[in-house]
Amino acid sequence: MGRVDKKMVSFLALLLLCLLCVQDASAQWRKKKPKQETKVVNLYEVDTLIAPVPRTRQSFHDRIDKEQRKADVSDGAIDKYIYYSEDTNLNRIITKAILKDIDRMQILVENMPANGRDMNTDNQARIRCLKAITELLVKYNVDVKKEPYYYRRLVNNLREMIIAYNENKLTEFTHENVNIYTLDNNKMMYEQYPEDKAYLYTEMGKQDPKMMIKRLGEYANETFSCDIISMAARLDPAEVFNFASSTNFPLRTSVRRCDDGVVQAIVTIADKSKSPLKALPFLGELYAHKKTIAEIDTITEQPDSFFINLVRLKVQHSTVGADTYSDELAYRCLKYVREMDDLHEEKDTVRFKCLEGLPPEALYFIMIYGQDEIYTSSFIGCYRRMMERMQPMTGDQLLDYVHYDHFRTFIRMSAGYNTLSDFLGTINEEKKLKLMKDFISGLEKGKEYDLEDAVDVADAFGSIKDSTLSVFLQKQVKLNYELSYKEESRKGLIIYSLLSVLFDGSRHVNDDAMANKQSERLGLPPIYKVPYASLLDKDKKVVEQFFFFGDKDGATSFTSFMGNFKDGKWKIEKGQYWTTITSTSGAPVVIYANLPLPEPDDETAQNALTKYLDDSNIHPTIIVHRGHSYHLPVTMEKLTKYNKIIVLGSCGGYHNLAVVLDHAPEAHIISSKQTGTMAVNEPIIKAINTELLAGNDINWINLWKGLDEYFSKKPDVMEKFSDYVPPYQNLGAIFIKAYRKMINEEDDEN
């Protein structure tokens, strides 16, 4: 028992010691505990309402919610998720921006501090913010393109604008955010800030006069309108001319009251020239008093004189109205290209008679500006005559004479038509290397989405056969990448990294494994195939839409096209404006083709068919253009994000590719170096439909191998087929897709 007592005593002593220590520690803690700081709540970040929405503003929230529901149901289901495409990342971006971020912005407007405003003024300020949100959503719902990254940035911009507006910092915000997003969000928020609006519009006018003059209706009555009009007049006089001649009084008056000399020269042309649109290219000479209206009218009366003088303006490199005389020259060049193309079965003396007497620089412009329509044989004939007439000039001297205008396009075309080595052979080694260095360098210049030169370089890679030149160009790509790194050029880093991948892959992608590896390196979905499942509509059918035109070739093409559906595997139903062709065996395929009614009824038929498809919620995933290149803009305007395969015949130029991918960002494009022909189009379409009827993916590598074998037995058509570019070899389109994806992903990270 004594031992137990000792143990108990020891235990109690230890317990007492512990209690004393705890009490002492507690006392010390109470003494040393710092005063707890009150946490400051950022009302702009709170994601729940601090107080209920008052009745005076509830209707404005209801309007926002209504527009959000429209956006939500646009994909056929109200599920708090907006389906944009198969790219789940794009779906996530647009859903977050239009649904989730807008919800949070509504809360922000209600929670933000009043900053000393009285009740009525504060209420009106919040209503103004809610109206701005509504305007953004209305813009989204009527937008046929709905580009996810644009709307994400637009929503983010509006959020920051609302905060700046609430804190009376809109001036600082405006100066730091002169961009398209602030411009598109400004209408409601800037009503009480005319000076900031003037600054925004004027600075945007300096950045992009051609875009801003098209928005003249937004600021025609503002005091700063003349500043923007005068800047635009030097770059886009045709648009200023349209407003000067307009029946819209505010727009017409806005231009005519501007006292800038170039603007007034445009007004003079509008009022006094016999052919004002033809006279516009000579605006610079009229403004400088080198030509009178009468002298200009005399020049434009004769087509050949008009063309030669446009070439003269181009060579003289006048800065006033450069785009206008360049555009007119491009249009006039097509006249020569079409004449050569139409006479392709005639002897050269007949076919190329239109080129007689034209100097080498004129022939150069005919080739580069006719790139979308020129036949291979037309290019070769024009090229040979240019080479003969430029002697004793060398190739680099000719390029210098034309100020290297679109010289990358010329090199790309020369590589594609196997004349590059011949052209470079006229230049000594030192200057040849400099030319090819210039071909690769400087692609990072210009605006972020100005990619025309880079696309020309990308397209050329697939055609350059000279191994020594290829190695040299690869080294130049690497050197320019390193230079872009040193100069911290984001655009340059992306361009040259993509060109490096394309240059290496362009000569190796000939099976699925290599193509898949190439796709992964570019950060793109497989470039060599289109999954069958991605082509199905909501009813699990593949829907195709064909565009036919009402000229003679269109009628012939339509008759030939219909001959492909007489094998008993298809049901044909003819309506007033279009024909519907439905598969009766195999997987379900439905083809809609407008009738090639005589012009202009062909456009009526196309519009009627497009309206029917839209109203019926039918979205074609395959689009085929069956017409001349000059009809192409009509088809491209009707492209949508649902289109996955697009057959356009001639579509080699950057601008066409960019427009196609603006409308249909995931499209696989089949194009030709020259105008498409039904002798090639129909076997391609038949091969695609054969795979679809079997429920197979469209594997471009395998499909093209089969077509190559088919056309090898038809030597008269094989040459034309060889001008067609399959999607996995359409380096220009692949480059644009990869570049846009990388730019947007970088913005995502930032």
Residues 738 and 626 in one domain: yes
Residue 213 domain-assigned (yes or no): no
Domain count, the chain: 3
Residue 625 domain-assigned (yes or no): yes
pTM score, two decimals? 0.84
Residues 592 and 707 in one domain: yes
Residues 134 and 175 in one domain: yes
Residues 454 and 598 in one domain: no
Sequence-ordered list of residues with C-beta below 8 angstroms from that of 285, at least 6 positions apart, any chain:
291, 296, 313, 318
Mean pLDDT of 538-557: 93
Residues 421 and 494 in one domain: yes
Q: Kindly list the distances between the CA atom of residue 47 and the CA atoms of 105, 123, 164, 663, in Å, as whole numbers in the listed order.
A: 9, 20, 19, 35
Residues 479 and 609 in one domain: no
Residues 561 and 709 in one domain: yes
Sequence-ordered list of residues with C-beta below 8 angstroms from that of 183, at least 6 positions apart, any chain:
200, 201, 204
Residue 449 domain-assigned (yes or no): yes
Q: Are the beta carbons of 463 and 503 closer than 8 angstroms?
A: no
CA atoms within 13 A on the CB side of 13: 6
Domain boundary among 144, 178, 207: 207
Percent of the chain having pLDDT more than 70?
92
Element (H, E) at 582: strand 578-583
Residue 294 domain-assigned (yes or no): no
Domain boundary among 207, 226, 244: 207
Residues 435 and 539 in one domain: no
Number of C-beta neighbours around residue 628 at 10 A:
18
Which residue range forms the structural domain that includes residue 576? 529-749
Q: Which of 526, 562, 518 is nearest to 698 (CA)?
A: 526
Confidence of residue 30 (pLDDT cuts 50, 70, 90): very low
pLDDT score at 161:
98
Quickly list H helices, 579-664: 601-615, 632-636, 654-663
Helix, strand, or coil here: 95? helix
Residues 550 and 663 in one domain: yes
Residue 453 domain-assigned (yes or no): yes
Percent of the chain having pLDDT more than 90?
75
Q: Kindly list the distances between the CA atom of residue 665 and the CA atoms of 90, 164, 310, 345, 456, in Å, as whole numbers in the listed order.
A: 11, 34, 36, 39, 19
Confidence of residue 27 (pLDDT cuts 50, 70, 90): very low
pLDDT score at 747:
67
pLDDT score at 420:
95
Rounded CA separation 158/560 (Å): 54
For all residues of the chain together, what is the average pLDDT?
90
Residue 399 domain-assigned (yes or no): yes
Residues 436 and 541 in one domain: no
Residues 434 and 556 in one domain: no
pLDDT score at 18:
40
pLDDT score at 425:
95
Residue 479 has pLDDT above 80, yes or no: yes
pLDDT digits (tens, 9 = 90+) for 263-278: 999 999 999 999 999 9
Rounded CA separation 157/729 (Å): 38
At 424, the amino acid letter reads: L
Residue 144 has pLDDT above 70, yes or no: yes
Confidence of residue 126 (pLDDT cuts 50, 70, 90): very high
Q: Kindly list the distances between the CA atom of residue 33 and the CA atoms of 26, 28, 36, 361, 594, in Å, as whole numbers in the listed order.
A: 10, 8, 8, 86, 82
pLDDT digits (tens, 9 = 90+) for 322-376: 999 999 999 999 999 999 988 988 999 999 999 999 999 999 999 999 988 888 8
Domain boundary among 149, 184, 207: 207
Residue 290 domain-assigned (yes or no): no
pLDDT score at 17:
38
Which residues on neighbouring strands pair with residue 530, listed in sequence order? 698
pLDDT score at 86:
81
Residues 404 and 498 in one domain: yes
Mean pLDDT of 129-156: 95
Mean pLDDT of 494-519: 81
Exposed e or buried b for every residue in 99-137, given b needs 16+ CB within 10 A? bebbebbbbbbbbbeeeeeeeeebeebbbbbbbbbbbbb
pLDDT score at 10:
45
Residue 34 domain-assigned (yes or no): no
